[in-house]
Amino acid sequence: MRCFLLYLLLVLVAVLPVQADSLDPAEKPSAPGFTLKNLRGENASLSDYHGKVVLLNFWATWCAPCRKEMPSMEKLWQTYREQGLVILAVSTDNGGESRIKSFARRLKLTFPILLDPDSQASDLYQVSGIPVSFLIDRQGRIVAHVLGSKDWASESAFQQVENLLLQ
């Protein structure tokens, strides 16, 4: 029985989202830079978006929680992209671009999708599970880290992004 309860606790810890939404200003690390290909085969760098608020999300097509949060990310993107929000969805898939393009078309995703099949950016951000998201402020500092899926179209997520856009 103890083993079962320990196992259950470990499963819950692994599945529940972990959020560090209010990091102390002194603890806000700079977001590591990277350059990856997008779905059009063009290079895209995090530095291209300096001065913008960036939601950096690591995901894969085979990940059910990732698929669950993508529509809410699209709503967030549609709502705030004109005010300076950028969403960079970094695919960790190894299966090729066609699966990712098909996935994006099926879900009608319009935000930028970057390809990280060799884990270049994933390693920089020490990604050990997906989905995982990093919210980066206009100064290029990581201000929030979310492990697990999140409803990015929720009132609290909208408020968090609005606050960053006003800074």
Top-confidence residue, 18 or 145: 145
Confidence (pLDDT) at 58: 98
Confidence (pLDDT) at 135: 97
Asked if residue 124 has pLDDT above 60, the reply is yes
Residue percentage of the chain with pLDDT more than 70: 84
Asked if residue 91 has pLDDT above 90, the reply is yes
Asked if residue 8 has pLDDT above 90, the reply is no
Asked if residue 79 has pLDDT above 70, the reply is yes
Asked if residue 116 has pLDDT above 60, the reply is yes
Confidence (pLDDT) at 26: 58
Residue/partner pairs of 93-101 with CB below 8 Å, 24 or more apart: 93/60, 93/61, 93/62, 93/117, 95/61, 97/39, 99/61, 100/39, 100/61, 101/39
Rounded average pLDDT over 74-84: 97
Q: Which residues of 37-61 are buried (b: 16+ CB within 10 A; e: fewer)?
A: eebeeeebebeebeebbbbbbbbbb
Residue type at 145 in one-letter notation: H
Report the predicted TM-score, pTM, of the whole model to 2 decimal places: 0.83
Residue type at 129 in one-letter notation: G
- Strands 113-115 and 85-91, by their bridges, are parallel
The size of the chain, in residues, is 167
Rounded average pLDDT over 70-83: 97
CB 38 within 8 A of CB 113: yes
Please state which of the ranges 76-85, 88-97, 115-124 shows the lowest mean pLDDT: 88-97
Asked if residue 25 has pLDDT above 60, the reply is no
**CA dist 162 → 50, 75, 88, 99, 136 (Å):** 17, 14, 18, 33, 13
Q: At what angle do helices 64-80 and 155-166 cross, to 10 degrees?
A: 50
Give residue-wise pLDDT tens across range 27-60: 789 999 999 999 999 999 999 999 999 999 999 9
Query: Edge-to-edge strands of the sheet including 113-115?
Result: 18-19, 142-147, 132-136, 53-59, 85-91, 113-115, 35-38, 43-45
Give residue-wise pLDDT tens across range 145-167: 999 999 999 999 999 999 999 98
> Minimal CA–CA distance to 16: which of 8, 4, 5, 28?
8
